[in-house]
Structure 1
């Protein structure tokens, strides 16, 4: 795709205590495309997402989404308030779908969707409500707007989570292993919603072990290991014909665990 990518990350470095989790990760995501991050547990995939959303503050690196950018290495010099404002502004550009649903248990599906637009963004409640109803229908939950999370299956709760991420009108939607906590029979319904979003042009960055989904939907696949991007490219190349031996070993273990 021509022009500047919608999302760019450059030189992301992040440590937890003595452990260096990211060692200079770069990422470029054009608008309307799907980027899938794969790799072994502990490779840094989730940390990349959390840095893109400013849920984690890297020690170094720049993240830009649209016209909003943050140079994380420069944040400490800006003062606490200015740094928090910069992170909040960046966070507002993306919606996050977590492994667990993280829904408010005492609020209905519809009320879960209204929290971000009304309370955080200050949009008129009726406008947000109308959009929320459309989103619930889009994820296959028409008629369940008054249901509490406890009255929904795990797959339905995750679909509410996707609709909630979309309700803030994000430029990018970030998915952190959205099917990993689901029973196998519920995985398909969540992936179907994600395929629909991809076909509709939603810009997405997805951490997943669902390799078939990556093959079918991803515009690019990045394989991370040890906090670095070992290999990147079109899904057909990285998954079907990886260039790097580390990528080949990982995919063999994942696709043929026995």
Structure 2
């Protein structure tokens, strides 16, 4: 469903999550407009990946509300029967595509077969239509002519680009990317970042967990810096060039010096 231009496509309200005694998320709230890129940054253990995985309920929050377009789940609501909650979660998941740190491709399927699995088996789309879309997406990520190869025949960067194309093949309204370059050799990072930069240029709505500070500065309209389960600082790309909080400044210094 197309959203009014003044209404966020993504809304997260008071998200909370604990693993045992440890509170990983302690009330995270933010929104994202359609066609924008949001970067989630922060030190290890700050909760950024948990936020991302909460958006499609790979990690069910303990409380809070998540909405993507016309699908929403209120995890704080009580008395919701299992069948209703399952339908809510399925609707929310259907509006996003996930790109993981490791590509998670099916090793026994070809590149094309990996792209067709979701649209055909899950969304029950016409095979010919889904195949045409898949070939177009492979061209978009620079992998035309690789349709019949298997993941083991591709480099890590190429496999991750297949993973991005596979997420796009579901026609999501939001693409969620969890440290998409962290498992790659340094010389392969650029090719994956170039594909993500192209998606942002073409108006995809992106939520990205990344440690690539310069990339986030160039691509993201919104930057959220998480620390100890809360958003410690938020704003535009200026958060990365002129942070207002000392904790953000410390983090950026360490990351940039390490890079």
Give the equivalent residue in structure 2 for 1:82.
84
State the match for 2:51 in structure 1.
48
Q: Does 1:212 align with 2:181?
A: no
Q: Report the CA distance between 1:77 and its aligned residue.
A: 1.9
TM-score, length of structure 1 as denominator length: 0.97
Asked whether the 8 Å contact 2:5–2:34 carries over to 1, the reply is: no
Which residue of the partner structure matches residue 113 of structure 2? Answer: 111
Where does residue 186 of structure 2 map in the other structure? 184
Where in structure 2 are the equivalents of 1:1-258 lying within 5 Å? 2-74=5-77, 77-235=79-237, 237-257=238-258
Between stretches 80-89 and 162-171, larger displacement belongs to 80-89
CA offset at residue 66 of structure 1?
0.6
TM-score, normalization by structure 2: 0.97
The 2-side partners of 1:2 and 1:249 are apart by 36
Aligned residues: 256
- The secondary structure found in structure 1 opposite 2:133 is helix
2-structure distance, mates of 1:64, 1:83: 14
How large is the Cα RMSD of the aligned pairs?
1.2
Q: Which runs of 5+ in 1 are unaligned?
A: none
- Alpha-carbon offset, residue 81 of structure 1: 2.1
1:2 and 1:81 map into 2 onto residues whose CA distance is 33
Is the 1:12–1:24 contact (alpha carbons within 8 Å) kept by the matching residues of 2? yes
Superposed CA offset, 1:89-140 (max 9, x none) = 1011000000001000000010000011000011111110110000001000
Does structure 2 conserve the Cα–Cα contact (< 8 Å) formed by 1:21 and 1:226? yes
- How big is the shift at 1:2? 4.9
